[in-house]
């Protein structure tokens, strides 16, 4: 009898263990009429004068044998166009508060050189300046986002830059622009007032910066033009809620349209870990930091709601992404790192967070576009590769300016060494009658079964794309440029308004209604 009890007990244990492994996560998707729109600007990018981001990345010069348009690589232009890049932030970053815009205008042979004191102490010749950048944005169809010099500049210098790019005629700066070959103004909307004033932008405290911001913002105006000025205050890093509280309390709403937030997925600033040859310890720690974005946005939004209940001020996450040790043999100040399936997980999960908080999150800028940190493209001479992060962002273009469809579910856990993280993240949207659903499973080993309730969406058929690979450390190389590319995903079924599928480990899936 005891033996039989033991057999039954063992069977039950095995049954519950197997059931747990195959437990299905139920996800409901709502379709409220008053849901916010997911701004396309959430999918913005960032190019700083840092390492090989501008020079030898974006800009190779008009005399380069590499095919280019006004010195900018044609292959990169096409890649960014395919990504439907909505905006591009420039010239920094830390570099912004050392940059004097007049050094980068006029004949290139007359432009002074500058030592990039933040990134590698390299000497730059200012051959890529305001005209180059704003003309590139026109080619890309992207909104420029200019970060002005507050740390080492003046109010007059900043105001003159606004005049130079936005004033049609009748001012000295408009006259100077015309002399430099640009008759019509660019009408730049997005302006960042400094960068990280709590750090490289001047080591200020929040109260000092709030007063300084008000001074600068007062003189940033479009005069009598119809151009909308969107002034962005340099906000907190991560969980610095005091900084956000001070800015929201002290800066009048009529002087601030947006406030920035910076958050990088960094294990330890003193030992950031390798970019490609990482362990699961590294991976779990990185994802722990990446998923803190949910907490940061929720708590910063609560502060903003207190002072701005009408939601007039946008949250601008204008620096985010993974940050690791540089690749062996490269300049430590250039921040060049490989881009693996871990970065795809950061991108997919973070973008889902942004989408689901789109009532407050208006813009975000991945750091950075090319050859720096979590880049979407890497270049080497005439070659260029697209990274897993690029492919995720391209898959997510279906969410650009689409109406959010709120989701509700309890995520299964990704458990490692006794600690747990939510394994699955989801966001959904609807545009022109078409539904899009993005799902991410960050679990390094376990697949996760999900059931999506489509009852409110009137969906009959869907197609799907997946990004996955054999190992988390997999990446594209200049020898194997398509080691990781999106593929068609068919392993799902829709029956009586329910969609069932299994998400493989560390993968991203985007479904679209037909």
Instruction: Give the span between the Cα atoms of 400 and 355, in whole angstroms.
Output: 10
**Cα→Cα distances 336→72, 91, 347, 370, 381, Å:** 20, 18, 18, 9, 15
In 3D space, the residue among 127, 107, 101, 72 whose CA is nearest the CA of residue 180 turns out to be 107
**Cα→Cα distances 308→229, 271, 355, 361, Å:** 19, 39, 20, 14
Query: Which residue among 48, 124, 289, 319 is the active-site one?
Result: 319
Instruction: Give the span between the Cα atoms of 258 and 195, in whole angstroms.
Output: 13
Does the annotation mark 196 as catalytic?
Answer: yes
Six token digits for residue 509: 């899936």
Query: Which residue among 48, 143, 196, 289 is the active-site one?
Result: 196
92 Cβ partners below 8 Å, 6+ apart?
A: 48, 49, 50, 98, 99, 118, 147, 195
Question: HSE (CB half, 13 Å, CA atoms) of 91?
Answer: 27
The alpha carbon of 355 is separated from its chain's Cα centroid by a whole number of angstroms, namely 12
What is the secondary structure of 272-313 as a DSSP string?
A: ---SSS--HHHHHHHHHHHTHHHHHHHHHHHHHHHH-TT--S
Tokens 């609807």 correspond to what residue? 430
Does the annotation mark 319 as catalytic?
Answer: yes
* Length of the chain in terms of residues written: 514
103 Cβ partners below 8 Å, 6+ apart?
A: 111, 112, 114, 126, 129
Catalytic residue IDs: 196, 319
């Amino acid at each position: 009898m005891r033996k039989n009890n033991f057999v039954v007990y063992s069977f039950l244990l095995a049954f519950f263990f197997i059931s747990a492994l195959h437990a299905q996560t139920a996800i409901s998707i709502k379709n409220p009429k008053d849901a916010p729109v997911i701004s396309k600007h959430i999918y913005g990018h960032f190019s700083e004068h840092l390492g090989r981001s501008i020079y030898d990345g974006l800009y190779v010069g008009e005399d380069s044998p590499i095919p280019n348009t006004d010195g900018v690589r044609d292959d990169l232009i096409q890649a960014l166009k395919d990504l439907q890049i909505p905006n591009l932030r420039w010239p920094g970053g830390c570099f912004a508060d050392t940059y004097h815009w007049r050094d980068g205008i006029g004949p290139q042979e007359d432009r002074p050189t500058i030592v990039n004191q933040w990134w590698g102490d390299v000497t730059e010749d200012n051959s890529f300046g305001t005209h180059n950048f704003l003309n590139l944005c026109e080619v890309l169809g992207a909104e420029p986002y200019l970060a002005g010099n507050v740390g080492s500049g003046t109010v007059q210098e900043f105001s003159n830059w606004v005049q130079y790019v936005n004033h049609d005629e009748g001012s000295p700066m408009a006259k100077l622009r015309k002399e430099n070959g640009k008759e019509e103004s660019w009408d730049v909307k997005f302006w960042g007032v400094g960068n990280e004033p709590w750090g490289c932008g001047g080591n200020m405290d929040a109260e000092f910066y709030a007063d300084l911001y008000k001074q600068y913002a007062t003189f940033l105006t479009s005069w009598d033009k119809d151009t909308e000025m969107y002034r962005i205050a340099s906000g907190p890093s991560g969980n610095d809620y005091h900084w956000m509280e001070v800015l929201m309390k002290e800066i009048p709403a009529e002087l601030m349209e947006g406030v920035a937030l910076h958050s990088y997925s960094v294990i330890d600033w003193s030992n950031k870990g390798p970019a490609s040859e990482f362990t699961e310890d590294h991976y779990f720690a990185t994802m722990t930091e990446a998923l803190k974005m949910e907490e940061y946005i929720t708590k910063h939004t609560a502060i903003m709601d207190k002072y701005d209940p009408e939601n007039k001020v946008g949250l601008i996450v204008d620096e985010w992404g993974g940050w690791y040790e540089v690749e062996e043999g490269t300049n430590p100040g250039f921040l060049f790192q490989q881009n693996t399936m871990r970065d795809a997980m950061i991108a997919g999960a973070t973008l889902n967070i942004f989408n689901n908080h789109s009532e407050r999150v208006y813009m975000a800028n991945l750091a950075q576009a090319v050859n720096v940190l979590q880049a979407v493209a890497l270049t080497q001479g005439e070659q260029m590769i697209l990274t897993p992060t690029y492919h995720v962002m391209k898959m997510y273009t279906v969410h650009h300016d689409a109406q959010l469809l709120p989701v509700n579910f309890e995520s299964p856990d990704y458990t490692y060494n006794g600690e747990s993280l939510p394994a699955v993240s989801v966001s959904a949207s609807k545009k022109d009658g078409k539904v899009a659903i993005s799902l991410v499973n960050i679990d390094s080993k376990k697949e996760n079964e999900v059931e999506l309730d489509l009852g409110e969406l009137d969906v009959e058929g869907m197609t799907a794309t997946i990004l996955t690979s054999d190992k988390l450390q997999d990446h594209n190389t200049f020898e194997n440029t398509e080691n990781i590319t999106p593929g068609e995903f068919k392993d799902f079924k829709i029956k009586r308004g329910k969609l069932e599928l299994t998400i493989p480990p560390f993968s991203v899936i985007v479904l679209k209604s037909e």
